[in-house]
Structure formats: structure tokens, C-alpha cells
Structure 1
Amino acid sequence: MRAGIDDAETAAAELLPEADAELNDQATVEATNFFVSVKEVREFVKGEVPAAAVFISVIMCVLTVERLVNNRGTRVTLVDGLMQPHFKAYCRRLEKMDPFRRDARVLQVTVWDPKIRSHGSLAFKPVSSTS
């Protein structure tokens, strides 16, 4: 019995360094593709054409959040993180711009809902019995 426990402890001890290596790799990836401006993100996407598995990290200000018309996702509109101290004034200027100029200064990210959706919460409804 003790041999099985020792094997399990050894296996568990080996998993810890593997998890640490994964965390280090994750931190490297997150630090590599780090952006604070819409222009930087656009240049990265246009120049690199990243694969779907490529992660990016951003520090940006949320301009708007809206539920999509088809109710299958959420669209988040972001502006440069550097504008945080001047956010209200920047928003007023964006509102005055025509859509073409405004769209060049914002980044829209769509977060899709999972394909398999829950059916909502189930409610218990007692059935009246007739005797």
C-alpha cells in the first residue's frame, strides 16, 4: 500500500515544476504581446497576422459595452489606455468625429458566447393533485 502512495506523491511532485514552467511560459507570452494603444494593436494584427492561439495583453479604457442584436455575444469598444487621465474629454471628441475617423481610434472586440447554451434556470412548479 505504501508503494502506491509513494508513487502518487512522486507524480504529484513532478507536476509542480511542470505547472511552474507553464506559468513562466504564460508570463513570457503575456509580456511579449503587450499593448496600450489602438494603433499598436492594429499594427501587430496587420503585420503579424497572428494565429488564433496567440494571446495579447492590453491596458485600455472601455468606451462602451453592448450585447449583440442576435444575443450571442458582447461587443466591447476600447480606446487607448494612455487616455485614462483624459477619458471624458477624449470621449467628447470621439462623439463629434465622423464614423470613419472615430473607428480608426477605437478597437472593438467581440466576445462570443459558447456554442452550447444553457437553457436558463429551471424552476420547480408543483402540480396540484386532484383526489
Structure 2
Amino acid sequence: MSDDTIRLVTIGRIFRRRRRLLAVLAVVGALVGYGASVVFPPRYTASASVLLPGQWEERELLTQVEIATSSSVLDRVAAALGRPGVSGADLRDRVSAKTTDGNIIKVSGTDDTPEGAQQLSDRLAQQ
């Protein structure tokens, strides 16, 4: 008999002796995973890129990023989405904008559904 066989037999004996403990640990792990998914529901983020025509300096692009996430733009986005009870202030934590290479601004929206995240980022890019 080789050493590998003896080790596997020993591991098998340990599993048989600790069967109840292992079953309890598996159930507790499943319950903790389920509880975490209830407490922290999944969130989806979608992005859209906006190409600004012409030549822009870095500070001008940063100004455009600030404008993209300003309260007036977010109010218009909330109105365009047509969701009852959602205002521009509610969207403040769910949207972001940043500059990328060239004259491109990348806007992102986060929502509970993939479709909602895509609509949010598309409306923000339009505004």
C-alpha cells in the first residue's frame, strides 16, 4: 500500500467521524451566504462614453465632468427617466463621470437592474 492510499483512507475516516459537524457547517455557510445576499442586494453599473467635438484642454474637460454630475443635470435625468419618487438628489450617489483619453467623458450609472443602469447612463450621456 502506498502512502497516498493511507492518507485517503485516513481522510475518509475523519469525514465519517465528523459527518454531523461538516453538515452543520455547510448549512450555516449556506444561511450566511443567503443572509448576505439579502442584506447586500446585487447592483449593476453601466457606462456610456461621450465624445466632445473640437479641442479641449484638461481643465475644460474637468469642468464638463462637473457639469455632467451637477444637480441641474441630474434633475433633468430624473425627469427623463420618469420614475416616481426619484429626484436628482437621489441620483447623486448612483452616477459618476470621469475624463478618459482625448475628448471623451465616461459617465456611469448604478441601479438594481441591468436595464435600469443602462437607462440611467444613457440618459445622463444625453443630457
TM-score normalized with structure 2 length: 0.29
Higher relative contact order (CA 8 A, sep 6+): 2
TM-score normalized with structure 1 length: 0.28
Q: Which has the higher helix share?
A: 2
